[in-house]
Amino acid sequence: GYGKDKRQPAYSRAVSALFQGRKMMMSRTVKGYLFSILSAVVFGSLPAIAKLIYAEGLNPLSLVFFRNALAVPVLFGILRWKKISLRLTRRQAVQLCPIGLLCGLITPGLLFLSYVYISSGMATTIHFSYPVFVLLGCALFFRDRITPVRALCVLFCTAGILLFYTPGESANLFGMAIAFISGITYAAYIIALYRSCLREISPFLFSFYMCLESAVLLLAGLLLAGQFTLPETALGWFATLGLAVAASIVGVVLFQIGVSLIGPQNASILSTFEPITSITLGVLIYREPFGLKTALGAGLILLAVTLLSLAEKRKGSPVAES
C-alpha cells in the first residue's frame, strides 16, 4: 500500500497518531504519579530531618521560624522570575492573615512539637488523618452530607488513632493529642482556603506572604519569651536550610505539578506515601518501635484516607483538593 511518492497512507498515519497520542498520555500520567509520589516522600522525610535538627540545638518553634524565614528569599526570587506582582487586594490581605497563620505557624508548630514526644511515624500518620477532619468540618459547618462510605472512613480513622495509644504513657498521650490537633488545624486551613478568595492568587504568592507573616510573628514571640535558639553546628544549619526549602518549596511545587497532570484525587491518594516514608525512616534511622498494634493503626488511617479520596467524585470538593 504505498503510492508512487512512497508516502505513508492516510490510515497508517491515523494509527501512528493514535499510538503517539496514547504514548503522550501515558507519559503525562507517569510523570504525574512520579511527581506526586516524590512530593509525598519529601514531606515524609521532614520528621527525620527535624529530629536531627533538634539534636543540633534547635527547638521546635525556632525550627518553624527558620522553615518560614529561609523560604522567603527563595520564594521572592521565584516571584520576580515569574514576574508575579506582589500586590494583594484588601480582601485578600484580610483573609490571608488568619489562613496563613493556620498553615505556616500553628499547624507546623504543633506537628514539629509532637515529634519530641512520640515517634515521627506515629505523629505524621495521626496528622495525616486531616482529610477526615475536612469531611467532618464540611458536614458540621456547611451541612455537607455524610455518606455511608464517609462514615466508615471516620470509623476507621478513629479506630486507627486509638490503636496508637498506650495506657499509662502520659508523653504518648500528650504527643498524640498535639498531632491530632495539628490535623484539625490543617483541615481548618484547607476549608478556609477553599472558601476564600485566596484560591485566585498564585500559590507562590500565597506561600511568600504566609512564610513572611509567620516568620515575623514567630521571631517576635520567641525573642520576647527568650526561647529563640540557633543551630550549633554546620550540619544543623545545612539540615535546617534543606528542611525549609523542601517543606515550603520543593514538596509544594511537586504536588502542584502532580495535581495538574493527574488530578487532585489521584494526587491525594498517592500522598499516603508521606506517612509510609516517615514510618520507614523513623524505624531505619532512629530505631523507632513499630509493632503489630502500631502497624494496624497506621493501616486503618491510611485505608480511611484512601477510601475517602476514592469516594470524593464531586468536582471541587475540598477533600479531593487537599
pLDDT for the residue numbered 84: 92
pLDDT for the residue numbered 60: 93
Which one-letter amino acid corresponds to residue 172?
A: N
pLDDT for the residue numbered 2: 43
Rounded distance between C-alpha atoms, residue 165 and residue 176, angstroms: 8
Rounded distance between C-alpha atoms, residue 7 and residue 184, angstroms: 64
pLDDT for the residue numbered 315: 45
Percentages helix, strand, coil for the chain (3-state, rounded to 5) are 80, 0, 20
Rounded distance between C-alpha atoms, residue 231 and residue 222, angstroms: 15
pLDDT for the residue numbered 69: 92
Nearest to 285, CA basis, from 40, 9, 46, 100: 46
Place of cell 506517612: 275
> Is there a contact between 99 and 189 (Cβ–Cβ < 8 Å)?
yes
Biggest alpha carbon–alpha carbon distance for the chain: 88
Nearest to 68, CA basis, from 250, 249, 239, 321: 249
pLDDT for the residue numbered 14: 56
> Which residues of the chain fall below pLDDT 70?
1-26, 167-171, 263-265, 268, 312-322
> Is there a contact between 305 and 275 (Cβ–Cβ < 8 Å)?
no
pLDDT for the residue numbered 229: 93
Cell of 181: 490537633
State the Cα torsion 49-114-265-297 to the nearest 10°: 110
What is the pTM for the complete model shown?
A: 0.79
Sign of the Cα torsion 47, 52, 55, 57 reads negative
Rounded distance between C-alpha atoms, residue 25 and residue 17, angstroms: 12
> Is there a contact between 246 and 254 (Cβ–Cβ < 8 Å)?
no
Rounded distance between C-alpha atoms, residue 255 and residue 40, angstroms: 8
> Is there a contact between 294 and 282 (Cβ–Cβ < 8 Å)?
no
